Structure 1
Amino acid sequence: MASDNEIPEGQPNNPLHGVKLVDILEKLTEKYTWEELADRININCFKSNPTVKSSLKFLRRTPWARTKVEQLYLRSFHK
């Protein structure tokens, strides 16, 4: 068993390892409004009647959009 200061096995260099997409989206919507998210990432799920549920559905089916959301999350919370 790993101690608290050891790097977990699996993906030690991946800052998103173990972070769920729903958690990423919830944290981003706490920091930014939907309009601000749409300004930062030009995708319709942030522009047209945005909800966490509808955005998750789109992002799970659209790898390029998910990558952009993950990059914004890293820029916003992992300096």
Structure 2
Amino acid sequence: MESQPNNPLHGVKLATIMEKLHAHYGWDGLADRIGINCFKSNPTIKSSLKFLRRTPWAREKVERLYLKTKFE
């Protein structure tokens, strides 16, 4: 496994990112910050992960929000 010292998301699973963001913002907060339907229309972690894994531009937005968020 290669080391990626300049990648702050190295080793962080998308599922972990989604769980933390959902716990912090909730679905309404995520829909306000990232206007994608997987957060607006009947959202679940499972359906959001499926969408984000197949949609690179949406995943980038989620990863950027994760990096900007200050978790307690």
Deviation at 1:71, TM superposition (A): 0.2
- What residue number does 1:65 align with? 58
* Superimposed CA distance per residue, residues 18-63 of structure 1 (whole angstroms, 9 cap, x where no aligned partner): 0000000000011011011000001000000000000000000000
Q: Trace 1:20-35 onto structure 2 (pairs within 5 A).
A: 20-35=13-28
1:37 to 27, 30, 33: 30
Runs of 4+ deviating beyond 3 Å: none
Over the aligned positions, Cα root-mean-square deviation in angstroms equals 1.2
- Kindly provide the amino acid, as one letter, of the partner of residue 27 in structure 1: K
Classify the secondary structure of the residue corresponding to 1:54.
helix
Q: Which runs of 5+ in 2 are unaligned?
A: none
Instruction: Name the larger-Rg structure.
Output: 1
